[in-house]
Amino acid sequence: LLERKNAILVDGVILNGPVADSEAGEKFVEEATKIIMEEVIKKAADVTEKVCEWQPPEKLKALLDLELKDTGENHQKLLQFCRDVIKFSVKTNHPRFFNQLYAGIDYYSLAARFITEALNPSVYTYEVSPVFLLVEDAVLKKMIEFIGWEEGDGIFNPGGSVSNMYAMNLARYKYCPDIKEQGLSGMPRLVVLTSDECHYSVKKAASFLGIGTQNVYFIKSDERGKMIPEELEKQVLRARKEGSAPFFVSATAGTTVLGAFDPLDEIADICERYGLWLHVDASWGGSALLSRKHCRLLHGIHRANSVAWNPHKMLMAGIQCCALLVKDSSGLLKRCYSANASYLFQQDKFYDVSYDTGDKSIQCSRRADAFKFWMTWKALGTTGLEERVNRALALARYLVDEIKKREGFQLLLEPEYANICFWYIPPSLRNMEEGHEYWEKLHHVAPAIKERMMKKGSIMLGYQPHRGKVNFFRQVIISPKVSREDMDFLLDEISSLGKDL
CATH of the domain at 230: 3.40.640.10
34 close to 27: Cβ distance less than 8 angstroms: no
Q: Report the chain's terminal Cα–Cα distance, integer Å.
A: 76
38 and 158 share one domain: no
Q: Is residue 201, in this structure, part of any structural domain at all?
A: yes
Residues 450 and 475: beta-carbon distance below 8 Å: no
112/220 Cα distance (integer angstroms): 42
Within this chain, do residues 58 and 197 fall inside the same structural domain, yes or no? no
146-183 b/e (C-beta count within 10 Å ≥ 16 → b): bbbbeebbbbbbbbbbbbbbbbbbbbbbbbbeebeeee
Q: CA-CA distance, 92 to 230, in Å (whole number)?
A: 41
Residues 220 and 261 placed together within one structural domain of the fold: yes
CA distance 350 to 203: 44
Give yes or no: residues 83 and 97 share one domain: no
Residues 6+ apart with CB under 8 A from 166: 155, 157, 324, 337, 362
Q: For strands 306-309 and 277-282, give the pairing.
A: parallel
In a domain, 345, yes or no: no
- Mind listing the pLDDT tens digit for each residue in 442-464? 999 999 999 999 999 999 999 99
Are 40 and 97 in the same domain? no
* Longest Cα–Cα distance in the chain: 91
Nearest CA to 251 out of 201, 167, 194 is that of 194
Domain co-membership, 334 together with 235: yes
- Supply the pLDDT for residue 5: 63
| Residue 378 parent element (H or E) | helix 369-405
The total number of structural domains in the chain stands at 2
Torsion angles phi and psi, residue 142, rounded to 5: -70, -40
Tell me how far apart the alpha carbons of residues 118 and 41 are, in angstroms, rounded to a whole number: 18
DSSP state string for 176-194: -TTHHHH-STT---EEEEE
Length of the chain: 501
User: Rounded to 5 degrees, what are φ and ψ at 415?
Assistant: -75, 155
Same domain, yes or no, for 398 and 451?
Answer: yes
310 Cα distance to chain centroid: 5
Amino acid at 204: K
Asked if residues 98 and 463 have their Cβ atoms less than 8 Å apart, the reply is no
Where in the sequence is the domain holding 72, given as residue range(s)? 9-91
| H-only helix segments in 73-216 | 75-88, 107-119, 130-147, 160-175, 179-182, 201-208
Residues 399 and 251 in one domain: yes
Find out whether 285 and 260 touch, Cβ atoms under 8 Å. no
Nearest residue to 138 (alpha-carbon basis) of 121, 156, 115: 156
Q: Is residue 183 part of a domain?
A: no
**Burial profile 312-331: b = 16 or more Cβ within 10 angstroms, e = fewer:** bbbbbbbbbbbbbbbbbeee
281 forms bridges with which residues in the sheet? Answer: 252, 308
Residue 132 near residue 119, CB atoms below 8 Å: no
Domain assignment present for residue 3? The answer is: no
Kindly state whether residues 49 and 173 are assigned to the same domain.
no
Tens place of pLDDT for every residue, the chain, 501 residues? 345 567 788 887 877 777 778 899 999 999 999 999 999 999 888 899 999 999 999 999 999 989 999 999 999 999 999 999 999 999 999 999 999 999 999 999 999 999 999 999 989 888 888 999 999 999 999 999 999 999 999 999 999 999 999 999 999 999 999 999 999 888 899 999 999 999 999 999 999 999 999 999 999 999 999 999 999 999 999 999 999 999 999 999 999 999 999 999 999 999 999 999 999 999 999 999 999 999 999 999 999 999 999 999 999 999 999 999 999 999 999 999 988 877 777 887 787 878 878 888 888 889 999 999 999 999 999 999 999 999 999 999 999 999 999 999 999 999 999 999 999 999 999 999 999 999 999 999 999 999 999 999 999 999 999 999 999 999 999 999 999 999 999 999 999 999 999
Distance, in Å, from the CA atom of 118 to the CA atom of 15, rounded to the nearest integer, reads 26
**124 occurs within a structural domain:** no
Alpha-carbon span 110 to 316, nearest angstrom = 10
pLDDT digits (tens, 9 = 90+) for 184-239: 888 899 999 999 999 999 999 999 999 999 999 999 999 999 999 999 999 999 99
Examine the domain organization and report whether 68 and 106 are in the same domain: no
Q: Which of 91, 123, 139 is the last residue of a domain?
A: 91
Contacts of 2 (CB under 8 A, 6+ apart): none
Cβ–Cβ under 8 Å, residues 75 and 24: yes
Cα distance between residue 447 and residue 450, in whole Å: 5
pLDDT score at 1: 38
d(CA 366, CA 347): 21
Q: How many C-beta neighbours within 10 Å does residue 48 have?
A: 5
**Cα–chain center distance at 340:** 30
Interatomic CA distance for residues 451 and 91, integer angstroms: 17
Same domain for 385 and 486, yes or no, is yes
Residue 480 and residue 104: Cα distance in Å, rounded?
8
In a domain, 87, yes or no: yes
Entry pTM: 0.94
Q: State the CB neighbour count (10 A cutoff) for residue 1.
A: 5
- Residue 441 is predicted with a pLDDT of 96
CB 165 within 8 A of CB 127: no
**Distances, alpha carbon 463 to alpha carbons 184, 339, 448, in Å:** 40, 44, 11
Helix orientation angle between 75-88 and 22-36, rounded to the nearest 10 degrees: 20
Question: Which of 91, 106, 127 is a domain's end point?
Answer: 91
Residues 86 and 98 in one domain: no
CA distance 309 to 160: 7
How many other CB atoms are there within 10 angstroms of residue 120's CB atom? 8
Q: Pick the closest to residue 292 from 373, 153, 401, 393 (CA basis).
A: 393
